[in-house]
Amino acid sequence: MAKRDHFGSKIGFILAAAGSAIGLGAIWKFPYMAGTNGGSVFLILFIMSTLLIGLPILLAEFVIGRRGQSDPVTSFKKQAPGKPWYLLGWSGLIFSSIILSFYSVVGGWILSYLVRSIFFKLKGGSENYFSELFGSIIQNPWEVIIAQGAFMLLTIWIVQGGIKGGIERASKWMMPLLFVFFIALVIRSLTLDGAMEGIKFLFVPDWSYFTGKTILLALGQAFFSLSVGVAVMITYASYLSKEERLGSSALNVALMNIGVSILAGLVIFPAVFALGYTPDQGPGLAFIILPAVFEQIPFGAFFMIIFFILLLFATLTSSISMLEISVSIGIRSNYELRRKASWIYGLIIFLVGIPSALSFGVLSDMHILGMTIFDFADFITSSFGLPIGALFTSIFAGYQLSKTELSNELLLNRPLFNAWYIIVRFAAPIAIIIIFVQGIIKLFL
């Protein structure tokens, strides 16, 4: 029987975990969230939330995963025999699959834009060209389904190769390239005339935006961008050897997530201000505003290709982590079934995602609680699935595992360990409940 795979190196694990965390949350979502919520103030609150709340929960998931050395369901059964904590593993499977079902739709959009940019088909002929193009793409049933399928094929191809041969190898070249490409884009953006206004927007606080709403949104962004709450990090940490120090790994993942978010802001905001746009464009920033921005700068077509390659890399590093949860639970200890399971679960998730892909076109009139199928899938996972999963994960680490067990696993100095322990037992659950209540209010009021 095949043996359970493991990460071949600490850097391989860090890059894979960071890739899962970064995803569209840092490159696509952070800029438009910051753009509509005060720029610098949002960034400050995001960094504080990531380090003070998100990082401790991430570390808790690392502990649970590494101690279990198995898929999430089996890990909870091992560490809490006879208790229903294993349901957290199943909830991770369900919600990560829902996330991947609509995440792959966005991955398909990116592929559509990337192909067009490579063949220099992204050339605005009118003032509203890019807005009309985006609308035509997401409303075309054949294009969105074929593109979504192509994105899922890429995800399956990587995951079927296993941890060392697939996920770790892909992350080792995709993540460094992501940073290199981003730095090139930052340099180009910062050399535009008028770029300083964008820098001020990102780094000089306008405290009028310091409100309860901004705090909650920044906390939610930090929380969800770290991929905590759906057993992704529990799954990845289960492939980690006992020799690795979890504290430094978790800190590196959090810092890389913050770093890429700031780089994304440095790419987007200087260019947006330099060319006379406003930063509060919302989710369409990457697909409508940025192509228009790139079109107006020298060598813009080349930089547009780089940007969509970046988006593709970031999306893939997250999608492979979400498919890995299904595969790890599906195969349990039958590791020779990995290839078959990758294709079966990948195909199922692709089929589940088709209604989301069609929700802006032929199914645009179909609504659930006033939302399109795509928006509902996003809402139900972001506002319910992730907070509930992270809340109970935090409670499990803080109350089910003994203080001695946690201390022996983390090997932190006493002040750091005590601070982490207090956050996991008290501060993190309170913060998650606030996010969860916000989601309920948004739904019913």
More confident: 127 or 174:
174
pLDDT at 58: 94
- pLDDT of 152 > 90? The answer is yes
Highest mean pLDDT of the ranges 121-125, 317-321, 330-334, 344-348: 344-348
Query: For residues 185 and 267, is the Cβ–Cβ distance under 8 A?
Result: yes
C-alpha–C-alpha distance, residues 376 and 245, integer Å? 39
C-alpha–C-alpha distance, residues 286 and 281, integer Å? 9
What would the mean pLDDT of 275-281 be, rounded to a whole number?
Answer: 78
What would the mean pLDDT of 252-272 be, rounded to a whole number?
Answer: 90
Query: For residues 307 and 285, is the Cβ–Cβ distance under 8 A?
Result: no
Please give the DSSP secondary-structure letter assigned to residue 54.
I
1 pLDDT tier (thresholds 50, 70, 90): very low
C-alpha–C-alpha distance, residues 135 and 112, integer Å? 12
C-alpha–C-alpha distance, residues 428 and 325, integer Å? 24
5 pLDDT tier (thresholds 50, 70, 90): low
What would the mean pLDDT of 201-210 be, rounded to a whole number?
Answer: 92
Q: Which of 47-56, 157-166, 196-205, 429-438 has the lowest mean pLDDT?
A: 157-166
Q: Which of 83-87, 195-199, 272-276, 412-416 has the lowest mean pLDDT?
A: 272-276
C-alpha–C-alpha distance, residues 157 and 153, integer Å? 6
What would the mean pLDDT of 47-51 be, rounded to a whole number?
Answer: 93
Q: What is the residue whose two structure tokens read 């694990």?
A: 13
Residue type, 81: P
What is the CA 257 to chain-centroid distance, rounded?
9
- pLDDT of 130 > 50? The answer is yes
Query: For residues 372 and 360, is the Cβ–Cβ distance under 8 A?
Result: yes
- pLDDT of 191 > 90? The answer is no
C-alpha–C-alpha distance, residues 335 and 350, integer Å? 23
286 pLDDT tier (thresholds 50, 70, 90): confident
Query: For residues 322 and 232, is the Cβ–Cβ distance under 8 A?
Result: yes
**For the residues of 325-376, what is the DSSP string, one character each?**
HHHHHHHTT-GGGHHHHHHHHHHHHHHHHHHHHTTTTTTTT--BTTB-HHHH
3 pLDDT tier (thresholds 50, 70, 90): low
Residue 411 has which token pair? 């090997």
Q: pLDDT tens, 93-107?
A: 999 999 999 999 999
More confident: 403 or 336:
403
Closest CA to 75 of 305, 401, 387: 401
104: Cβ contacts below 8 Å, ≥ 6 apart: 148, 151, 152, 155, 319, 349, 350, 353
pLDDT at 318: 86
C-alpha–C-alpha distance, residues 384 and 8, integer Å? 35
Tell me what percent of the residues of the chain surpass a pLDDT of 90.
43
C-alpha–C-alpha distance, residues 297 and 14, integer Å? 35
* Mean model confidence pLDDT for the chain: 86
pLDDT at 145: 97
- pLDDT of 308 > 60? The answer is yes
Tell me what percent of the residues of the chain surpass a pLDDT of 70.
94
Backbone angles phi, psi at 284, to 5 degrees: -80, 0
Closest CA to 216 of 429, 1, 44, 434: 434
377: Cβ contacts below 8 Å, ≥ 6 apart: 98, 99, 101, 102, 356
333: Cβ contacts below 8 Å, ≥ 6 apart: 1, 4, 70
214: Cβ contacts below 8 Å, ≥ 6 apart: 37, 38, 41, 42, 45
Domain at 10-362, CATH homologous superfamily: Hydantoin permease (1.10.4160.10)
- pLDDT of 345 > 90? The answer is yes
- pLDDT of 224 > 70? The answer is yes
Residue 197 has which token pair? 């206004």
Residue type, 97: S
What would the mean pLDDT of 58-63 be, rounded to a whole number?
Answer: 94
